[in-house]
Amino acid sequence: MNAIIEQFKTTVLQRIRYNTLQAYTSTPKLEDEQLFFLLLPQLNGEQWSEPMATGAVATAIVHTSLNEHDKVLAKEAITKEQQLIVLAGDYYSGRYYQLLAQSGNIVLIQKLSAAIIERCEHEIKVYEPLEQTLTEWIDSLMVIKTALIERFYEVFGFSMYAPMMKHVLVIHSLQQLLAERSVPFFKQLVELGRDQINEEVRKHKEQVSALLAKMHYSEEVKRHILAIVE
């Protein structure tokens, strides 16, 4: 399974490779957990067509583009390197549109475009100095991490995997944020309270256990999901 995910990552990176940009910027950020959930239907034995494979690559490219812009949001000064990072994000966005336009998948373009808008709106909420309840904050985090994959599922008839994807990615994100004090969201976490965050993680883990019992997943997929939330 890990080999399939790594091959998928290689395919995505090959699609967006541009030597001049990569000479001045780091390797584009691809989150293995998001890649796993883009491939989850295939890994769990669902019929997997060429349009689905292309759509998964395109969705991963969009994630990469937005991740590059997030790198600049996390910093203060606008240096030449940061300007190139923004340019790289825009370039990756262009590659996503080109890939889907060539495939003729207008519906997926529309869905992902709507998800990008929704994601950006929630990123603004997270960075705004306005008070949010814990529930509101986690709702925004969930949209940021999962909206694109959820739309991908909708287009190809895999919405039954969305609840698991949402719970697992939120758990993983919260655990990372609690462990890494340097991340942009840590200030909000401190204000909201670590005990409350840990309680939310526990609740989401309960939902993961319930979904594992309710839906059919291969044993290998189950092990991979449990490894992410540990």
Give per-residue pLDDT as tens, 121-143: 787 777 665 567 778 888 988 99
- The pTM assigned to this predicted structure is 0.82
CB 152 within 8 A of CB 108: yes
Q: Which CATH superfamily is domain 2-229 in?
A: Farnesyl Diphosphate Synthase (1.10.600.10)
**pLDDT at 108 (0 to 100):** 85
Give the pLDDT score at 168.
97
Q: Which helix (H) or strand (E) holds 98?
A: helix 80-103
Q: Domain spans of the chain?
A: 2-229
Count of alpha carbons within 13 Å of 201, Cβ hemisphere only?
A: 17
Evaluated on CA atoms 65, 66, 71, 72, the torsion sign reads positive
Q: Would you state the pLDDT for residue 94? A: 46
Distances (CA, A) of 11 to 118, 145, 174, 219, 229: 27, 21, 28, 26, 26
Low-confidence ranges of the chain (pLDDT < 70): 17-28, 67-103, 127-131, 181-192
pLDDT given for residue 73 in this prediction: 47
| pLDDT at residue 29, as a whole number | 72
